[in-house]
Amino acid sequence: MKIASLLLLAGLCLAVDPPRKPFPPRGGGSKLLTYNETVTRRVISPTTTFVDWIPGEEDGQYVFQENDGTLIIQNIATNRSETLVGADKVPENSYSYYIKPDLSAVLWATNYKKQYRHSFFADYHILDLESGSLTPLDNDQNGDIQYAAWSPKGNVIAYVRNNNLYLWKNGEVTQITEDGGPNTFNGVPDWVYEEEIFGTPFALWFSPDGEYVAYMRTDETGVPTYTIPYYMDNQKFGPPYPRELGASLS
């Protein structure tokens, strides 16, 4: 019995791989990077660049933003790059940008204020690349627009403000819904749908030809509030959370 146990133990020891040695340093250096330097404290980290593909007839183009705010178009087929928007044209307090599919304008989000994981409030301005003019999406906006997006075709922007859906077309604004409020959401999800269903800040979708827009309307009237402790400066917020899926959709 003892012999069998020793043989089993010896077999297990042989099955375990020996510890791997670290890769030899490259470039003539002798310092090895430690776990704490690269993961825990992030003393050394890789440089990252966020890019957006540009839809259109010419394939292989994407845009990225340099540190000074300049927007650059890069073509992976020709390896050529060109400036789309110079740093001097970027509005103050810009947070993000959305390029019109035909590359004639850029929609800028400014005065960013975070809401939930994906959503935020902001002002939006349209930069015309031919004239260089910068105009507000909504004349009386006050950092309260919840979402805005270009149509895939045409000069149309759908946006949500005070939980109501609007369409901007060639400078003219049309209000689509009028019942938005604390319990009614048009074109944007409530906290539950944003966090657990969509994982996005929007609930509206253009048709491929840009002629139609579909949106979700959520009515939370009568849905009980579940208070969630938010451990930051002793604050709390209570998004409506249906215990038994009590929210009604239409």
Q: Are residues 67 and 132 in the same domain?
A: no
Asked if residue 43 belongs to a domain, the reply is no
Q: What is the pLDDT of residue 57?
A: 60
Asked if residue 40 belongs to a domain, the reply is no
Asked if residue 4 belongs to a domain, the reply is no
Asked if residue 37 belongs to a domain, the reply is no
Q: What is the CATH number of the domain that holds 239?
A: 2.40.128
Please give the residue that has the higher pLDDT: either 29 or 165: 165
Mean pLDDT value across residues 161-186: 96
- Write out the H or E segment, with its range, that includes residue 192: helix 191-192
Mean pLDDT value across residues 50-71: 86
| Burial profile 23-57: b = 16 or more Cβ within 10 angstroms, e = fewer | eeeeeeeeeeeeeeeeeeeeeeeeeeeeeeebeee
Q: What is the pLDDT of residue 33?
A: 73
Q: Are residues 171 and 134 in the same domain?
A: yes
CA atoms of 145 and 110, how far apart (whole Å) = 10
Q: Are residues 75 and 191 in the same domain?
A: no
Band (247; pLDDT cuts 50, 70, 90): very low
Tally of CA atoms within 13 A in the half-sphere of 8 that contains its CB: 5
Q: Are residues 135 and 220 in the same domain?
A: yes
Q: Are residues 111 and 168 in the same domain?
A: yes
Can you give the residue range of the structural domain that contains 64?
48-90
Q: What is the pLDDT of residue 52?
A: 87
Q: Are residues 138 and 195 in the same domain?
A: yes
Q: Are residues 179 and 145 in the same domain?
A: yes
Please give the residue that has the higher pLDDT: either 227 or 63: 63
Asked if residue 175 belongs to a domain, the reply is yes
pLDDT at 59 over 90: no
pLDDT at 8 over 70: no
The domain tally of the chain equals 2
75-134 pLDDT, tens digit per residue, is 988 889 999 999 999 999 999 999 999 999 999 999 999 999 999 999 999 999 999 999
Enter the DSSP assignment of 198: I
